[in-house]
Amino acid sequence: MVNRDRLAQIFEHLVKIDSVSKEEGAVCNEIRKKLESMGGKTYVDGAGKKIGGNTGNLIARFNGNIRVPPLLLNAHMDTVEPGRGIAVVFKDGIFTSDGTTILGADDKSAIAIIFETIMVLQENNIPHGPLELVFTICEEIGLLGAKNLDFNLIASKYGYTLDTSGTEGIVTRAPAAIRLELKLYGKDAHAGVAPEEGINAIFIASNAIAGLNLGRIDHETTCNIGMVKGGIATNIVPNLVTIKGEVRSHDNEKLNKVADRIVSSFTAVVEKYKSIFPGSGLPRLEVSIDHDFPLTNIYDDHPVVLLAQKAAANLGRKLSVKTTGGGSDANIFFENGIITGVIGTGMRDMHTVRESIRLDDMTRTVELLLEIIIVHSKKGDK
Protein backbone atom coordinates (compact mmCIF):
# COMPACT_ATOMS: atom_id res chain seq x y z
CA MET A 1 0.00 0.00 0.00
CA VAL A 2 2.90 2.36 0.64
CA ASN A 3 3.79 4.45 -2.40
CA ARG A 4 7.57 4.47 -2.15
CA ASP A 5 8.09 6.91 -5.01
CA ARG A 6 5.68 9.38 -3.48
CA LEU A 7 7.28 9.01 -0.07
CA ALA A 8 10.68 9.74 -1.61
CA GLN A 9 9.36 12.77 -3.48
CA ILE A 10 7.70 14.23 -0.39
CA PHE A 11 10.85 13.79 1.66
CA GLU A 12 13.10 15.34 -0.97
CA HIS A 13 10.72 18.28 -1.37
CA LEU A 14 10.67 18.96 2.36
CA VAL A 15 14.41 18.83 2.94
CA LYS A 16 15.00 21.34 0.16
CA ILE A 17 13.01 23.93 2.15
CA ASP A 18 15.37 25.69 4.57
CA SER A 19 14.07 25.51 8.14
CA VAL A 20 16.86 26.04 10.66
CA SER A 21 15.61 26.75 14.17
CA LYS A 22 13.51 29.92 14.45
CA GLU A 23 13.17 30.03 10.64
CA GLU A 24 10.61 27.28 10.06
CA GLY A 25 7.96 29.56 8.51
CA ALA A 26 8.36 28.39 4.91
CA VAL A 27 8.22 24.68 5.68
CA CYS A 28 5.35 25.23 8.14
CA ASN A 29 3.32 26.91 5.41
CA GLU A 30 4.05 24.06 3.00
CA ILE A 31 3.09 21.40 5.54
CA ARG A 32 -0.07 23.27 6.48
CA LYS A 33 -1.14 23.63 2.85
CA LYS A 34 -0.64 19.91 2.26
CA LEU A 35 -2.52 18.89 5.41
CA GLU A 36 -5.48 21.12 4.57
CA SER A 37 -5.61 19.68 1.04
CA MET A 38 -5.99 16.28 2.71
CA GLY A 39 -8.90 17.47 4.86
CA GLY A 40 -7.03 18.25 8.04
CA LYS A 41 -8.03 21.13 10.30
CA THR A 42 -4.93 23.13 11.15
CA TYR A 43 -3.86 25.74 13.67
CA VAL A 44 -0.59 27.58 14.25
CA ASP A 45 -0.05 28.62 17.87
CA GLY A 46 1.79 31.62 19.31
CA ALA A 47 4.97 29.83 20.37
CA GLY A 48 7.01 31.56 17.68
CA LYS A 49 6.29 35.00 19.06
CA LYS A 50 7.37 33.90 22.52
CA ILE A 51 10.76 32.65 21.39
CA GLY A 52 11.56 34.99 18.52
CA GLY A 53 10.79 32.65 15.64
CA ASN A 54 8.95 33.32 12.38
CA THR A 55 6.18 30.78 13.00
CA GLY A 56 4.60 28.77 15.76
CA ASN A 57 3.90 25.09 16.26
CA LEU A 58 1.56 23.54 13.72
CA ILE A 59 -1.32 21.44 15.06
CA ALA A 60 -3.54 19.43 12.71
CA ARG A 61 -6.55 17.20 13.34
CA PHE A 62 -8.07 14.40 11.28
CA ASN A 63 -11.35 13.27 12.80
CA GLY A 64 -11.31 9.71 11.50
CA ASN A 65 -14.38 7.50 11.33
CA ILE A 66 -13.98 5.22 14.34
CA ARG A 67 -14.90 6.25 17.87
CA VAL A 68 -11.69 5.76 19.80
CA PRO A 69 -9.53 8.14 21.83
CA PRO A 70 -7.35 10.43 19.69
CA LEU A 71 -3.80 9.39 18.92
CA LEU A 72 -0.93 11.90 18.92
CA LEU A 73 1.75 11.90 16.21
CA ASN A 74 4.65 14.32 16.63
CA ALA A 75 7.67 15.49 14.65
CA HIS A 76 9.71 18.68 14.61
CA MET A 77 10.10 21.06 11.67
CA ASP A 78 13.46 22.65 12.47
CA THR A 79 16.93 21.49 11.48
CA VAL A 80 20.42 22.27 12.69
CA GLU A 81 23.18 24.10 10.81
CA PRO A 82 24.62 23.76 8.22
CA GLY A 83 21.09 23.38 6.91
CA ARG A 84 20.66 25.93 4.15
CA GLY A 85 20.58 25.17 0.43
CA ILE A 86 20.49 21.40 0.91
CA ALA A 87 21.26 19.45 -2.27
CA VAL A 88 19.77 15.96 -2.05
CA VAL A 89 21.57 12.90 -3.43
CA PHE A 90 19.65 9.63 -3.86
CA LYS A 91 21.74 6.61 -4.76
CA ASP A 92 21.26 2.88 -4.18
CA GLY A 93 18.14 3.55 -2.13
CA ILE A 94 19.91 5.92 0.27
CA PHE A 95 19.38 9.67 0.70
CA THR A 96 22.34 11.88 1.59
CA SER A 97 23.28 15.52 1.07
CA ASP A 98 26.12 16.53 -1.23
CA GLY A 99 28.39 16.62 1.81
CA THR A 100 28.35 20.37 2.38
CA THR A 101 25.24 20.41 4.60
CA ILE A 102 23.20 18.16 6.78
CA LEU A 103 20.45 16.19 5.02
CA GLY A 104 17.53 17.14 7.26
CA ALA A 105 16.23 13.61 7.77
CA ASP A 106 16.17 14.74 11.40
CA ASP A 107 13.25 15.26 11.44
CA LYS A 108 11.74 15.73 7.97
CA SER A 109 11.80 12.00 7.39
CA ALA A 110 9.18 11.84 10.15
CA ILE A 111 7.02 14.49 8.49
CA ALA A 112 7.17 12.66 5.15
CA ILE A 113 6.29 9.38 6.88
CA ILE A 114 3.27 10.93 8.58
CA PHE A 115 2.09 12.42 5.26
CA GLU A 116 2.37 9.09 3.47
CA THR A 117 0.62 7.29 6.31
CA ILE A 118 -2.42 9.57 6.12
CA MET A 119 -2.56 9.36 2.33
CA VAL A 120 -2.54 5.56 2.47
CA LEU A 121 -5.34 5.62 5.05
CA GLN A 122 -7.44 7.86 2.83
CA GLU A 123 -6.74 6.14 -0.49
CA ASN A 124 -7.64 2.73 0.88
CA ASN A 125 -10.59 3.85 3.01
CA ILE A 126 -8.97 2.33 6.09
CA PRO A 127 -11.07 2.92 9.22
CA HIS A 128 -9.21 4.89 11.86
CA GLY A 129 -9.75 7.01 14.92
CA PRO A 130 -8.98 10.70 15.45
CA LEU A 131 -5.38 11.74 14.79
CA GLU A 132 -3.72 14.80 16.29
CA LEU A 133 -0.53 15.90 14.55
CA VAL A 134 1.86 18.26 16.29
CA PHE A 135 4.77 19.64 14.27
CA THR A 136 6.97 21.67 16.58
CA ILE A 137 9.48 24.46 16.08
CA CYS A 138 12.89 24.88 17.72
CA GLU A 139 13.22 21.32 19.00
CA GLU A 140 16.93 21.39 18.22
CA ILE A 141 17.64 24.39 20.47
CA GLY A 142 16.12 23.20 23.71
CA LEU A 143 12.68 21.78 22.81
CA LEU A 144 11.42 25.37 22.81
CA GLY A 145 8.42 24.73 20.60
CA ALA A 146 7.08 21.94 22.80
CA LYS A 147 7.84 23.93 25.95
CA ASN A 148 5.69 26.79 24.66
CA LEU A 149 2.92 24.66 23.17
CA ASP A 150 -0.60 25.36 24.45
CA PHE A 151 -1.45 21.90 25.75
CA ASN A 152 -5.09 22.91 26.13
CA LEU A 153 -5.26 22.43 22.37
CA ILE A 154 -4.31 18.74 22.64
CA ALA A 155 -6.87 16.08 23.55
CA SER A 156 -4.67 12.99 23.14
CA LYS A 157 -3.47 11.15 26.23
CA TYR A 158 -0.82 9.14 24.43
CA GLY A 159 0.94 8.80 21.11
CA TYR A 160 4.27 8.72 19.33
CA THR A 161 7.14 11.04 18.53
CA LEU A 162 9.04 10.09 15.38
CA ASP A 163 12.54 11.29 16.18
CA THR A 164 15.18 8.60 16.55
CA SER A 165 17.22 6.33 14.31
CA GLY A 166 16.50 2.64 14.85
CA THR A 167 13.31 1.17 13.43
CA GLU A 168 13.29 -1.91 15.68
CA GLY A 169 12.59 -0.23 19.01
CA ILE A 170 10.45 2.20 20.95
CA VAL A 171 12.19 4.59 23.33
CA THR A 172 10.41 4.56 26.69
CA ARG A 173 13.09 5.97 28.97
CA ALA A 174 14.89 9.27 28.40
CA PRO A 175 16.82 11.35 30.94
CA ALA A 176 16.12 14.68 32.54
CA ALA A 177 18.70 17.38 31.89
CA ILE A 178 20.06 20.44 33.66
CA ARG A 179 22.09 23.12 31.90
CA LEU A 180 24.52 25.23 33.88
CA GLU A 181 26.20 28.52 33.04
CA LEU A 182 28.90 29.76 35.40
CA LYS A 183 30.49 33.17 35.05
CA LEU A 184 33.71 33.61 36.99
CA TYR A 185 34.94 37.19 37.37
CA GLY A 186 38.58 38.04 38.05
CA LYS A 187 40.59 41.22 37.51
CA ASP A 188 42.34 42.36 34.34
CA ALA A 189 45.94 43.57 34.26
CA HIS A 190 48.85 43.74 31.83
CA ALA A 191 50.12 40.19 31.61
CA GLY A 192 53.74 41.26 30.98
CA VAL A 193 54.06 44.41 33.06
CA ALA A 194 51.97 43.72 36.18
CA PRO A 195 50.50 40.21 36.19
CA GLU A 196 50.50 40.15 40.00
CA GLU A 197 47.86 42.88 39.93
CA GLY A 198 45.47 40.68 37.99
CA ILE A 199 43.23 37.79 39.00
CA ASN A 200 43.20 35.22 36.19
CA ALA A 201 39.61 34.03 35.79
CA ILE A 202 40.55 31.27 33.35
CA PHE A 203 43.19 29.87 35.70
CA ILE A 204 40.78 29.80 38.64
CA ALA A 205 38.06 28.17 36.54
CA SER A 206 40.49 25.52 35.31
CA ASN A 207 41.19 24.57 38.92
CA ALA A 208 37.46 24.10 39.52
CA ILE A 209 37.01 22.03 36.35
CA ALA A 210 39.99 19.85 37.27
CA GLY A 211 38.14 18.83 40.43
CA LEU A 212 35.11 17.54 38.55
CA ASN A 213 34.19 14.03 37.49
CA LEU A 214 33.04 14.34 33.88
CA GLY A 215 31.71 11.92 31.28
CA ARG A 216 29.67 8.89 32.30
CA ILE A 217 29.11 9.08 36.04
CA ASP A 218 27.12 5.84 36.21
CA HIS A 219 24.72 3.83 34.05
CA GLU A 220 22.02 6.49 34.49
CA THR A 221 23.97 9.74 34.64
CA THR A 222 26.31 11.81 32.45
CA CYS A 223 28.04 15.14 32.96
CA ASN A 224 29.83 17.42 30.53
CA ILE A 225 31.56 20.79 30.39
CA GLY A 226 31.01 21.76 26.78
CA MET A 227 31.99 25.42 26.46
CA VAL A 228 34.70 27.58 28.02
CA LYS A 229 34.91 31.15 26.74
CA GLY A 230 37.08 33.94 28.07
CA GLY A 231 39.96 36.27 27.53
CA ILE A 232 40.65 39.11 25.11
CA ALA A 233 44.34 38.86 24.26
CA THR A 234 47.43 36.97 25.34
CA ASN A 235 48.90 40.06 26.99
CA ILE A 236 45.86 40.70 29.21
CA VAL A 237 45.07 38.78 32.39
CA PRO A 238 41.48 37.60 31.71
CA ASN A 239 38.89 39.09 34.04
CA LEU A 240 35.96 36.92 32.94
CA VAL A 241 35.39 33.35 31.81
CA THR A 242 32.05 31.73 31.01
CA ILE A 243 31.62 27.99 31.42
CA LYS A 244 28.63 26.05 30.09
CA GLY A 245 27.85 22.46 30.93
CA GLU A 246 25.09 19.95 31.42
CA VAL A 247 24.04 17.02 33.56
CA ARG A 248 21.68 14.27 32.42
CA SER A 249 20.22 11.46 34.46
CA HIS A 250 17.36 8.98 34.56
CA ASP A 251 17.23 9.64 38.33
CA ASN A 252 16.24 13.12 39.49
CA GLU A 253 18.12 12.79 42.80
CA LYS A 254 21.35 11.93 41.00
CA LEU A 255 20.72 14.75 38.51
CA ASN A 256 20.54 17.36 41.24
CA LYS A 257 23.46 15.92 43.21
CA VAL A 258 25.83 16.10 40.23
CA ALA A 259 24.71 19.64 39.40
CA ASP A 260 25.29 20.62 43.02
CA ARG A 261 28.79 19.13 42.90
CA ILE A 262 29.68 21.28 39.91
CA VAL A 263 28.54 24.44 41.66
CA SER A 264 30.28 23.38 44.89
CA SER A 265 33.57 22.81 43.07
CA PHE A 266 33.53 26.32 41.61
CA THR A 267 32.34 27.87 44.86
CA ALA A 268 35.13 26.22 46.86
CA VAL A 269 37.85 27.32 44.45
CA VAL A 270 36.53 30.89 44.31
CA GLU A 271 36.44 31.10 48.12
CA LYS A 272 40.01 29.80 48.27
CA TYR A 273 41.28 32.54 45.95
CA LYS A 274 39.27 35.23 47.70
CA SER A 275 41.50 34.67 50.72
CA ILE A 276 44.52 35.35 48.53
CA PHE A 277 43.04 38.69 47.37
CA PRO A 278 41.33 39.97 50.56
CA GLY A 279 39.08 42.98 50.38
CA SER A 280 38.69 42.99 46.60
CA GLY A 281 35.46 40.94 46.47
CA LEU A 282 37.16 38.98 43.71
CA PRO A 283 37.10 36.42 42.28
CA ARG A 284 33.31 36.32 42.04
CA LEU A 285 30.99 33.60 40.77
CA GLU A 286 27.58 33.88 39.12
CA VAL A 287 25.60 30.67 38.56
CA SER A 288 22.60 30.12 36.31
CA ILE A 289 20.81 26.75 36.38
CA ASP A 290 18.19 25.78 33.81
CA HIS A 291 16.14 22.61 34.18
CA ASP A 292 16.27 21.88 30.47
CA PHE A 293 13.82 19.00 30.21
CA PRO A 294 12.23 16.39 32.49
CA LEU A 295 12.75 12.65 32.29
CA THR A 296 10.50 10.17 30.52
CA ASN A 297 9.77 6.80 32.10
CA ILE A 298 7.02 4.74 30.44
CA TYR A 299 6.16 1.35 31.94
CA ASP A 300 6.57 -1.64 29.64
CA ASP A 301 2.89 -2.54 30.01
CA HIS A 302 1.56 0.91 29.14
CA PRO A 303 -0.93 0.90 26.22
CA VAL A 304 1.36 3.06 24.09
CA VAL A 305 4.02 0.34 24.29
CA LEU A 306 1.69 -2.63 23.91
CA LEU A 307 -0.05 -1.00 20.96
CA ALA A 308 3.20 -0.48 19.06
CA GLN A 309 4.44 -3.98 19.91
CA LYS A 310 1.16 -5.56 18.78
CA ALA A 311 1.37 -3.63 15.50
CA ALA A 312 4.95 -4.78 14.99
CA ALA A 313 4.01 -8.39 15.73
CA ASN A 314 1.23 -8.20 13.15
CA LEU A 315 3.93 -7.25 10.64
CA GLY A 316 6.15 -10.15 11.73
CA ARG A 317 8.55 -7.86 13.59
CA LYS A 318 9.73 -7.44 17.17
CA LEU A 319 9.76 -3.99 18.75
CA SER A 320 11.96 -3.75 21.83
CA VAL A 321 11.74 -1.09 24.54
CA LYS A 322 14.78 1.17 24.51
CA THR A 323 16.55 3.61 26.83
CA THR A 324 18.24 6.70 25.40
CA GLY A 325 20.58 9.38 26.66
CA GLY A 326 18.97 12.10 24.55
CA GLY A 327 15.90 14.26 24.96
CA SER A 328 13.06 14.99 22.54
CA ASP A 329 9.64 16.62 22.41
CA ALA A 330 8.39 13.40 24.03
CA ASN A 331 9.95 14.50 27.33
CA ILE A 332 7.81 17.64 27.34
CA PHE A 333 4.66 15.76 26.32
CA PHE A 334 5.30 13.26 29.14
CA GLU A 335 5.64 16.10 31.66
CA ASN A 336 2.26 17.38 30.51
CA GLY A 337 0.50 14.06 30.96
CA ILE A 338 0.70 12.80 27.36
CA ILE A 339 2.53 9.46 27.38
CA THR A 340 4.63 9.53 24.23
CA GLY A 341 6.89 6.76 22.98
CA VAL A 342 9.63 7.56 20.49
CA ILE A 343 9.92 5.48 17.33
CA GLY A 344 12.58 5.63 14.65
CA THR A 345 12.62 6.59 11.00
CA GLY A 346 16.00 5.13 10.09
CA MET A 347 17.97 8.39 10.03
CA ARG A 348 21.68 8.05 10.74
CA ASP A 349 24.60 10.35 11.60
CA MET A 350 22.24 13.17 12.49
CA HIS A 351 23.68 16.68 13.00
CA THR A 352 26.57 15.93 10.62
CA VAL A 353 27.19 16.41 6.90
CA ARG A 354 27.31 12.59 6.71
CA GLU A 355 23.62 12.28 7.63
CA SER A 356 21.70 9.65 5.63
CA ILE A 357 18.51 7.64 5.52
CA ARG A 358 17.36 4.58 3.58
CA LEU A 359 14.07 4.69 1.74
CA ASP A 360 13.48 1.12 2.91
CA ASP A 361 13.63 2.24 6.54
CA MET A 362 11.22 5.10 5.94
CA THR A 363 8.84 2.64 4.26
CA ARG A 364 9.09 0.28 7.23
CA THR A 365 8.10 3.08 9.58
CA VAL A 366 5.09 4.00 7.43
CA GLU A 367 4.02 0.35 7.59
CA LEU A 368 4.42 0.29 11.37
CA LEU A 369 2.56 3.57 11.85
CA LEU A 370 -0.30 2.36 9.64
CA GLU A 371 -0.59 -0.84 11.64
CA ILE A 372 -0.49 1.08 14.93
CA ILE A 373 -3.41 3.21 13.75
CA ILE A 374 -5.33 0.15 12.53
CA VAL A 375 -4.84 -1.73 15.82
CA HIS A 376 -5.76 1.40 17.77
CA SER A 377 -9.00 1.73 15.79
CA LYS A 378 -10.09 -1.69 17.02
CA LYS A 379 -9.87 -0.76 20.72
CA GLY A 380 -13.19 1.06 20.91
CA ASP A 381 -13.57 3.41 23.89
CA LYS A 382 -11.29 1.39 26.16
The total number of residues shown for the chain amounts to 382
Span 132-142, average pLDDT:
97
CATH code for the structural domain at 180-293: 3.30.70.360
Question: The whole model's pTM is what?
Answer: 0.93
Rounded to whole angstroms, the Cα distance separating 47 from 24 reads 12
Catalytic residue list: 78, 139
What phi, psi does 50 have (nearest 5°)? Answer: -70, -30
The verdict on whether omega for the bond into residue 107 sits within 30 degrees of 0, i.e. cis, is yes
The verdict on whether omega for the bond into residue 283 sits within 30 degrees of 0, i.e. cis, is yes
Distance spanning both ends of the chain, measured CA to CA: 29
The verdict on whether omega for the bond into residue 82 sits within 30 degrees of 0, i.e. cis, is yes
Q: Examine the pLDDT at 381 and tell me if it is beyond 50.
A: no
Question: What pLDDT is stored for residue 278 in this prediction?
Answer: 87
SS3 assignment, position 340: strand
Tens digits of residue pLDDT in 271-324: 999 998 888 899 999 999 999 999 999 999 999 999 999 999 999 999 999 999
Tens digits of residue pLDDT in 59-98: 999 999 999 999 999 999 999 999 999 999 999 999 999 9
Question: What pLDDT is stored for residue 277 in this prediction?
Answer: 87
Rounded to whole angstroms, the Cα distance separating 16 from 20 reads 12
Amino acid at 278: P
Question: What pLDDT is stored for residue 382 in this prediction?
Answer: 41
320 contacts 169 by C-beta, under 8 angstroms:
yes
Q: Which residues contact 186 (CB under 8 A, 6 or more apart)?
A: 198, 199, 200, 201, 204, 237, 238, 239, 240, 241, 282, 283
Q: Please provide the average confidence, as pLDDT, over all residues in the chain.
A: 96
Count Cβ atoms within 10 A of the Cβ of residue 62 and give its class: 0-12 exposed, 13-18 middle, 19 or more buried. buried
Cite the beta strand spans of 194-308 per DSSP E.
215-218, 221-230, 240-249, 284-293, 296-297
CATH code for the structural domain at 4-174+295-377: 3.40.630.10
pLDDT over 70 percentage in the chain:
99
Tens digits of residue pLDDT in 33-56: 999 999 999 999 999 999 999 999
Query: Domain coordinates of the chain in residue numbers?
Result: 4-174+295-377, 180-293
Rounded to whole angstroms, the Cα distance separating 347 from 113 reads 12
